[in-house]
Structure 1
């Protein structure tokens, strides 16, 4: 009966939340040719503009939710859309996806989207530069200088300037301290009775920038599955540059980064657990199904799927924002004189775009993946959303102020880990950096805008907090609640 009361009380709590409206940037209604909307895998004309009949069929399927209509969608090639019907799924713990609100993304014609695109072009141009060389590399210094002068670009700055220490990072607590890559993507982690080193298969430096040829780009927009293969380095390496980081999130499963971080944290012992854990001071018991490893692993991984459902609701049923590679197509056709799209001149006149043309012979945004982006809309970023949810869970169960022992930084060749001797790195800061890295890796790959990542992180955080709330009264232990620091720096207790 107690369990029933808790279930009913939780259900009534979410049912009583006021209905929310979901703002959009208005691009879908503003542009008849749908240039600001996601349409990859549908048929397109020679400019990469979607076939309007096919787009209307997609909208009709999304408006009705009829599974039969999704099966009749006219695709342009062999590639399929990624799971639009997940937009309608409900959860039994935490908020339903349609109850969570995120801000509208910038319009395709805005200076904010232009600024985000310039960052993406620079990220593509600098993929091979080791993070440890950012302070002295002339291309990084040039990128930081141009990004510093952009309007509507809310990236972290020092004295009003983007620096080699802040470039391609997020302004979350702890993310600007220490090495670019989180300790949770560098340090070895326990797996059963083994210790696993985090050296990964990575692409070679040359020959792995894709969709810079217009014919290849257009074929991929139409859903072609005929594209070149990635050329891999024969030597596994620690993550040492943007290209390595992008590959980590190419074929990862949604729970991988959270699981690795959880294994590392549990191996640090009881001192790394959250001070509120009811078994920290017990003389006779330890936690396992509750407040122990089984509990923590379960909640970290269970947060990922509801977070993705929340992201998918926003992607398919609200925003349908175009992908960066689509934006690059608009830029290319404007610069080549093939079309007159309302692209902000900030990107058209940028040094990043000029350098891209000099290197590749087109104004398309170079992609790290042969297939370009996934076939689902850009906003919010799915990787950022599930990373935000898992990191929020980890901050609830572990001591955010705990200083990580023996921090490391990868060598410039990625073959070794070197001691890091700078300021102490805390669990909370490095978890925030992990979430930032997972989202930033998709920027390095060229498949997401910065604003998609930030909104995704906060959406995932809200999902995790809702799940923690619904379970708070299910425990027998004397427990005063979960305390954690949100991505905006505020501290809450659940």
Structure 2
């Protein structure tokens, strides 16, 4: 007790010494006293929190597959134990659901796994953040159901993406496989990719549906332009996997991966490094990138374009005496693209684990294989079995499994929404808020068919806004081309990321001293908003 009194007396003395220093002359200047500043800072944070709190609570609908199928064939089960048909051990799945329902960290440690591969951070679904929306306070559309024509069309698209991975984007208009893919996908009653005059064409194949996606080369200029990186320049030539090598095309290897086993093969790379010129190259880029690598690179490229590429609403563009830096300058731009990505991923993880739990395309491919070999009779939409992609896949690989670009297949988190799509959707939205979407990108290029050179592009002007949208689609759909995602994962992921970024900008709109009329940007659906 005496020791506690001594400590309390010592602390009281320190507090008194601290208070006494306030009688010294203060060097602080500015329009507010320290107390006023403290109170205003508190009020700004409080107002932002109240704004988020007072927004209507969204509903969180799902496609109903989890209740529809007792064997859980419509749901994500990778890394849990499965039987010979690839159906999950129901006791393991129930333990997985119980852990998710309770949020109890100890229960997550008791989820039975089928191999050595672990689940990818399911507890991130419960994380809180100090800016932007709470991850549980965002909305996403209902994904396709297992038996729907919509899902059948998406699966056919993934089969065709696998079959055409080595076709250069430049050759889409003349290659027999890409022409067959466009014709086949046009026959699906509910295929939701972009079309021209009501049909899929080689000009729209595997592209996104945002403004600018269908203009110019398939690959965005932000994948081709040199990246200014401090005192060096980074050329965007990347490791390229050898052509023709796909994975998980034998049933035993497919089942091993579903059970959380390690792959038996590895990617072999070609030499030399190449510019991204086909689906395999793009799929590999989104295989090993870090979370905000793409939007960081795009931000550095945009900064290299100079002042004319800044958003016209930037308050320093007309200043005679000041430049932006900490606010409305490089420090803020680079910070916000990274900030937005992580908060967006929290929103994605909430939907993935606590709402949707959608199976990956590789798992659906196992269902197709088992149906067509007579082992099962799953209610897959018949339109898929009419696809001309299936006989080609079987002739090439001897199975109807989805050929994967990665030996390990998909990550061990559910499909919907795509993490890459949600992340890049948030980051690109930030960039559209800070930079001039109408700015025309100088000296546009396109990769040669072998990926060894950049050639001048001559065609319609390519704008920052359009190429940022295309960049977002490249990164999100690049995961589809690798076989690990569905189109709906990508498109709806972009929209979720956009929502998160807009809400972060709303939180910050009252934090600036500058005369600032608000952030203006064009959403992925083509509408212009001011924040």
Same fold (TM over 0.5): yes
List structure 1 segments (4+ residues) > 4 angstroms apart after TM superposition.
none
- Please point out which of 184, 187, 194 is paired with 1:156: 194
- For residues 232 and 56 of structure 2, the distance between their equivalents in structure 1, rounded to whole angstroms, comes to 50
Q: Is the 8 A contact 2:152 2:384 kept in 1?
A: yes
For the pair 1:321 / 2:366, whether they are aligned, the reply is no
* Shift, 1:18, TM fit: 2.1
- For residues 31 and 161 of structure 1, the distance between their equivalents in structure 2, rounded to whole angstroms, comes to 33
- For residues 465 and 333 of structure 1, the distance between their equivalents in structure 2, rounded to whole angstroms, comes to 44
1:224 is aligned to 261
Secondary structure at 2:455's aligned position in 1?
A: strand
Number of positions where the alignment pairs a residue of Structure 1 with one of Structure 2 = 493
- Please point out which of 467, 470, 477 is paired with 2:514: 477
For residues 460-475 of structure 1, what are the structure 2 equivalents within 5 Å? 460-475=497-512
For residues 228-307 of structure 1, what are the structure 2 equivalents within 5 Å? 228-307=265-344
1:357–1:170 CA distance, 2 compared to 1 (3 A): same
1:23 is aligned to 61
- For residues 226 and 110 of structure 1, the distance between their equivalents in structure 2, rounded to whole angstroms, comes to 31
Q: Is the 8 A contact 2:253 2:263 kept in 1?
A: no
For residues 341-352 of structure 1, what are the structure 2 equivalents within 5 Å? 341-352=378-389
Secondary structure at 1:279's aligned position in 2?
A: coil
- Which sections of structure 1, spanning at least 5 residues, go unmatched? none
1:46 is aligned to 84
- For residues 482 and 459 of structure 1, the distance between their equivalents in structure 2, rounded to whole angstroms, comes to 19
- For residues 18 and 187 of structure 1, the distance between their equivalents in structure 2, rounded to whole angstroms, comes to 42
- For residues 392 and 20 of structure 1, the distance between their equivalents in structure 2, rounded to whole angstroms, comes to 22
For residues 354-373 of structure 1, what are the structure 2 equivalents within 5 Å? 354-373=391-410
* TM-score normalised by L of structure 1: 0.99
2:529 is aligned to 492
- Please point out which of 186, 194, 206 is paired with 2:232: 194
* Shift, 1:161, TM fit: 1.4
2:348 is aligned to 311
2:146 is aligned to 108
1:175 is aligned to 213
* Shift, 1:349, TM fit: 2.1
Which structure has the greater CA radius of gyration?
Answer: 2
* Shift, 1:160, TM fit: 1.1
- For residues 226 and 479 of structure 1, the distance between their equivalents in structure 2, rounded to whole angstroms, comes to 54
- For residues 76 and 249 of structure 2, the distance between their equivalents in structure 1, rounded to whole angstroms, comes to 19
- For residues 476 and 244 of structure 1, the distance between their equivalents in structure 2, rounded to whole angstroms, comes to 45
1:338 is aligned to 375
- Which sections of structure 2, spanning at least 5 residues, go unmatched? 1-38
* Shift, 1:20, TM fit: 2.0
Secondary structure at 1:36's aligned position in 2?
A: coil
- Please point out which of 413, 425, 428 is paired with 2:465: 428
2:478 is aligned to 441
Q: Is the 8 A contact 2:248 2:409 kept in 1?
A: yes
* Shift, 1:146, TM fit: 0.6
- For residues 440 and 101 of structure 1, the distance between their equivalents in structure 2, rounded to whole angstroms, comes to 21
